[in-house]
Structure 1
Amino acid sequence: MDQARPAQRGNNLDDVRRNNLAIVLGLAHVRGRVSRAEVTKVTGLNRSTVGGLVAELVELGLVVEQEPDAASHAGRPSAIIVPRPDIVAIAVNPEVDAVTIGLVSLSGEVLKRIRYDTAHVPTPQEVVNIVTAVVAGMRGELDRSFRTVGVGVAVPGLVRADDGEVVVAPHLDWHNVPFSAMLSDALGLPVVSANDASAGITAESTFGSGREANDHIYLNGGASGIGGGIVINGSLYPGVSGFAGEFGHSLVNSGGVLCHCGAYGCLDTEVRQSALLAAVALDAADSEQLESVLTAQFARAEGPDAAVLELVNRQIGFLAESLRGTVNIFNPELVILGGFLGTLYAVAPELLESGVRDRALMGPREDVRFARAELGLDLLMIGAAQLAFAPMLADPASIDKALGKAS
């Protein structure tokens, strides 16, 4: 996730040119548009060095330079550096009820988002087949208008970082699946897979509510349950094998039901999207309507239905219990809530915040603030795309190699 924190000091020595290229491209990637003067100020590089780096990125076809708005700048205006809009990644998010495929630009814009509902929990091969069919449908547009660097996959499960194998995705019933290799073979594109919540926190840290926070926690709630991610001093903490952030398996109810992990009373079993959908008479296919329906209920003069209010209060209470431990252990400056957890927070923010502060220790509870994920339905598409962009952002000159494999 280092591309989300490009504002580091550069060096004019030739042997770190690749690092300096990555810093300049990272600034353009995160900000969308950045002037040469801003790059010079942020990196500490001199103007001629910045000019050379920008020229090289232009030659690589990664950025373009635009004329500045002279009316808004005093003195000599500086050229504006913008990521090339035709550099894209394909994003994939398999879930228990659908497979979502997106096309995301280097500036983080979701250009296309297709949700393919499934009649049952999809097998790995079925997901490969669905993605292959959707990409085949876009092939003419991809070949004509874009340069595709690769595919990123946000998986609701434990994904081994070094090879992209899905060790276990319990709600999908996937076990030891070499999914990155399977999809790469089918598409002829490089594929990088990671846990969906880890992809989500990368997106929020780069483009969303975590942009200005160095130490923050992200919890995402989806059809498959609850996962999370941890950012420490501006960098994603993956754990030894990339499995860190499984907040869904923290104990919140000692008298709770059995979880698929083998423990009782996990957050994953006590706070469920399916229960909220049932309470407002929606099925899984209508999950994207959940927020509007709940918001409408809480906005009524008479308040929400008693059963809905009781369920929301119960789920927020268990979420607060989980966050109590998280706040005490990590002492984050920010907790970001995404998916249906963001919806819970949106309809009753004071209830969640007071619930955490009533339970957490005095010091950590005074430091923390809360926010919902800003990227909405685009969150996992952007996060998955970041996985595909990461090698190129770390080494911009590798774009030719990536496109060579893609062709």
Structure 2
Amino acid sequence: MATIVTELDSLQLVTVSQPLDTKRVGRPSTVVRPSQRHIAVAVYPDTDAIAIGVVALGGEVLREFRFDVESAPTAVHTVNTLQALLRGLELSDGGTVLGIGIGVPGLVDARDGVVRVAPHLDWHDEPLVDMVATATGLPTWAANDATCAVVAEGRFGQGVDEDNLVYLNGGAGGIGGGAIVGGQLLSGVNGYSGELGHMLVNSDGVHCHCGAVGCLETEVNRHDLLRVVGLADAEAGLLEQRLRDTYGTDPAVTAAVDRQLDFLGVGLRNIVNIFNPGTIVLGGFLAAVRNVTQERLQETVERSALAGPSSEVRIVSSSLDDNVLIGAGELVFRTILRDPASVSTSVSSAGSESDSEARRVAAS
């Protein structure tokens, strides 16, 4: 451990100092903190905005930029926005960008970083990793947005010390999920696992864009909740408070929330029976539904799922505001932590058009 800390310190990835309190008995432990000099840039394109964060080792979002869009951004628009921001980005103390991590609301092929489909963005076979790496000259990684989020929750959020964790997020573009099973991120053959928004919850439901009927994200969606409380998409941040103000007193709101709660309970029952998680973390508007209805979701799952796996599962709301950006940053840092010496390689190769292998990396 000391050798790793020394190596990270020499590469200026962490700072090492002595504790202020030296009155304790025994040899004082050194204090190790992530450095803010060498950072990752995280990107999260969604239907209503492109979010870009400056992320430090340790999951700290130093700065966040949000570029609102009137319609879903194209892959080219996303790359151009990132490129423009990087040109104007100022880092203190001669810091460097180690790489780019991207969380995509869609299927990202782990072998080549191609976004096979991001339905709500209308992206199909977009070579996103290669596009970003070519435009920026920086090592680039990409993964599904909920996969990024479950990594962040497992390392810095509600899933710390939890080896069996499922994350389920509700956003403008639908519902995504990610799972950590036995301490390992579940990725699948091509990195496509975690499409929990497309599990069947209503055989008499409406058609989903995926071609199926009654998917979780067609029966449980943000749009219907915003509509019933009279909010526009741009006002989604007010959803939970508006639900708190009207749930239980406004019959239309109460009926809409209860309907979505029931179908969400079906989805979580399936997740509990299949994955046997210790913790399920809900993000986005799903967290709002849970928070407003208090313990009803937990009680529904405990009543409907198998007694064994439901007996100890914890259903909680995310405590991280930027878990997708944090997880996208981790796509960069996990490579650094596996091989700290690669920091010098990454920095020296940034901008080099000849070193395509260093620039084009896909992560599941």
Which TM-score tier does this pair reach, normalised by the shorter chain? over 0.9
Cα deviation 1:172-210 (Å, max 9, x = unaligned): 111111001111111121111100000000000010000
Q: Which runs of structure 2 are paired with 1:360-399 in the superposition (5 Å)?
A: 360-376=305-321, 378-399=322-343
User: How far is 1:130 from its partner?
Assistant: 1.6
CA, structure 1 residues 222+184, in 2 after alignment: closer, same or farther (shift >3 Å)? same
Of 298, 304, 310, the match for 1:359: 304
Residue 162 in structure 1 maps to residue 162 in structure 2 = no
CA distance in 2, matches of 1:192, 1:73: 44
Residue 276 in structure 1 maps to residue 225 in structure 2 = yes
User: How far is 1:136 from its partner?
Assistant: 2.1
List alignment gaps of at least 5 residues for structure 1.
1-23, 25-49
User: How far is 1:144 from its partner?
Assistant: 5.5
Query: Are 1:117 and 1:285, in contact at CA under 8 Å, matched by a contact in 2?
Result: no
1:8 equivalent in structure 2: none
Residue 319 in structure 1 maps to residue 268 in structure 2 = no
User: How far is 1:145 from its partner?
Assistant: 4.4
Q: 1:337 aligns to what SS in structure 2?
A: strand
Counterpart amino acid of residue 77 in structure 1: P
Residue 295 in structure 1 maps to residue 240 in structure 2 = no
Of 107, 119, 144, the match for 2:58: 107
2:14 equivalent in structure 1: 63
1:123 equivalent in structure 2: 74
CA distance in 1, matches of 2:243, 2:161: 30
Of 289, 303, 310, the match for 1:344: 289
CA distance in 2, matches of 1:56, 1:132: 31
Residue 179 in structure 1 maps to residue 128 in structure 2 = yes
CA distance in 2, matches of 1:206, 1:247: 21
Query: Are 2:52 and 2:325, in contact at CA under 8 Å, matched by a contact in 1?
Result: yes
CA, structure 1 residues 143+85, in 2 after alignment: closer, same or farther (shift >3 Å)? closer
User: How far is 1:143 from its partner?
Assistant: 7.3
User: How far is 1:240 from its partner?
Assistant: 0.9
CA distance in 2, matches of 1:102, 1:235: 26
Q: Which runs of structure 2 are paired with 1:4-403 in the superposition (5 Å)?
A: 24=1, 50=2, 52-71=3-22, 73-138=24-89, 141-142=90-91, 145-298=94-247, 303-376=248-321, 378-403=322-347
User: How far is 1:356 from its partner?
Assistant: 1.3
CA distance in 2, matches of 1:389, 1:59: 16
Higher relative contact order (CA 8 A, sep 6+): 2
Q: 1:254 aligns to what SS in structure 2?
A: coil
2:360 equivalent in structure 1: none
CA distance in 2, matches of 1:320, 1:80: 44
User: How far is 1:76 from its partner?
Assistant: 2.2
CA, structure 1 residues 387+369, in 2 after alignment: closer, same or farther (shift >3 Å)? same
User: How far is 1:404 from its partner?
Assistant: 1.3
Counterpart amino acid of residue 134 in structure 1: L
TM-score when scaled to structure 1?
0.83
User: How far is 1:352 from its partner?
Assistant: 0.9
CA distance in 1, matches of 2:199, 2:267: 6
CA distance in 2, matches of 1:273, 1:154: 20
1:7 equivalent in structure 2: none
CA, structure 1 residues 312+127, in 2 after alignment: closer, same or farther (shift >3 Å)? same
1:406 equivalent in structure 2: 350
CA distance in 2, matches of 1:388, 1:202: 12
Q: How many residues align?
A: 351
CA, structure 1 residues 212+257, in 2 after alignment: closer, same or farther (shift >3 Å)? same
User: How far is 1:72 from its partner?
Assistant: 6.4
Structure richer in helix, relative to its length:
1
Alignment identity in percent? 46
Q: 2:201 aligns to what SS in structure 1?
A: coil
CA distance in 1, matches of 2:347, 2:238: 38
Q: 1:116 aligns to what SS in structure 2?
A: strand
TM-score when scaled to structure 2?
0.92
- What's the RMSD between the two structures over aligned residues? 1.5
Query: Are 2:12 and 2:37, in contact at CA under 8 Å, matched by a contact in 1?
Result: no
Counterpart amino acid of residue 383 in structure 1: G
Counterpart amino acid of residue 334 in structure 1: T
